[in-house]
Amino acid sequence: MSIDKKPDEKKLFDKLIEKSDLKQLVYHNTFHSFKVFKEVIEQMKLAYHKHASEKKTKYDVPFEVKARSEFEAELKFGGDILIFMMHSNVFEFPRGHRVMNTFYIKEDKNRSYCGVINIYNFLADSFKYNRLNDVGYLIGRVFINKDNHYFIEGKRELGYLYNNFGQNVLTKETVELIAAAAIQYTINFDLLTPPYEQVKEVSLHEITTVIDSLTLKTGKRLGFKFQADEE
């Protein structure tokens, strides 16, 4: 490539401004949506406690919300934790992704730039006992673009219901549906014992250390292929 020709600085600067404006718009849409997620799970907490007090359950089943940071929110219910985490950067779908072949994206390529809100599932005991070797699972991620349209990649309840990028607009009502679907999936996603061969040996050091800090990992599908849960 020859560089002996003076660059067109005006075009260069215009391109910089155009791309930066686009990413700022996507970021602000995503950040606003993340605040809606936090508001929704806080309202769900209040609704749950009202329902639980009326039902008078035998055991105290937790349903609590914690703001971990500006970009993280934690929802603890029963023996599970969902962590909603917004990424601070803006991404574009790779060329091979199926949304890139939709008319919606082909009509305006800038629609493929998205912010991302990830939803992770962990066992509550992993945090309670500081079991750093335990594993969590990404059960869904929400992509939000400049039009405030959204697309979800995820497990079962999440992935199957919300995949029309060209029509889905992220509103408070849709956030309520997404949060409820994430909780529903987590409730149905049970902890399975790992294969015997995987855990039959343990070192003296591991046993004599604090038992809840064993290097033996705990996870809902540890030792099993997570893909088996897609059906």
pLDDT at residue number 198: 64
* DSSP code for 100: G
The residues, any chain, with a CB within 8 Å of residue 162's CB and separated by 6 or more, are 150, 151, 152, 168, 174, 177, 178
- What is the average pLDDT across 178-197? 81
* pLDDT tens readout for residues 95-152: 999 899 999 999 999 999 999 999 999 999 888 888 777 888 899 999 999 999 999 9
Give residue 171's pLDDT band: very low, low, confident or very high (50, 70, 90). very high
Phi, psi of 75 (to 5 degrees): -120, 115
Q: Does residue 212 or residue 17 have the better pLDDT? A: 17
pLDDT at residue number 205: 62
Question: Is the per-residue pLDDT at 220 higher than 60?
Answer: no
* DSSP code for 216: S
Give residue 159's pLDDT band: very low, low, confident or very high (50, 70, 90). low
Question: Is the per-residue pLDDT at 215 higher than 90?
Answer: no
pLDDT at residue number 32: 97
Q: Does residue 183 or residue 209 have the better pLDDT? A: 183
Question: Is the per-residue pLDDT at 161 higher than 60?
Answer: no
The structural domains of the chain, with segments of one domain joined by +, span 9-190
pLDDT at residue number 109: 95
Give residue 197's pLDDT band: very low, low, confident or very high (50, 70, 90). confident
pLDDT at residue number 214: 47
Give residue 223's pLDDT band: very low, low, confident or very high (50, 70, 90). very low
CA dist 135 and 126 (Å) reads: 8
pLDDT at residue number 208: 63
Q: Which of 213, 222, 226, 229 is nearest to 192 (CA)?
A: 222
Query: Alpha helices of the chain — where are they, by DSSP H?
Result: 9-55, 103-107, 124-128, 156-161, 172-188, 196-199, 204-208
pLDDT at residue number 100: 93
pTM for this structure? 0.82
Q: Please state whether beta strands 72-77 and 63-69 pair in parallel, antiparallel, or not at all (unpaired).
A: antiparallel
The residues, any chain, with a CB within 8 Å of residue 174's CB and separated by 6 or more, are 150, 162, 168
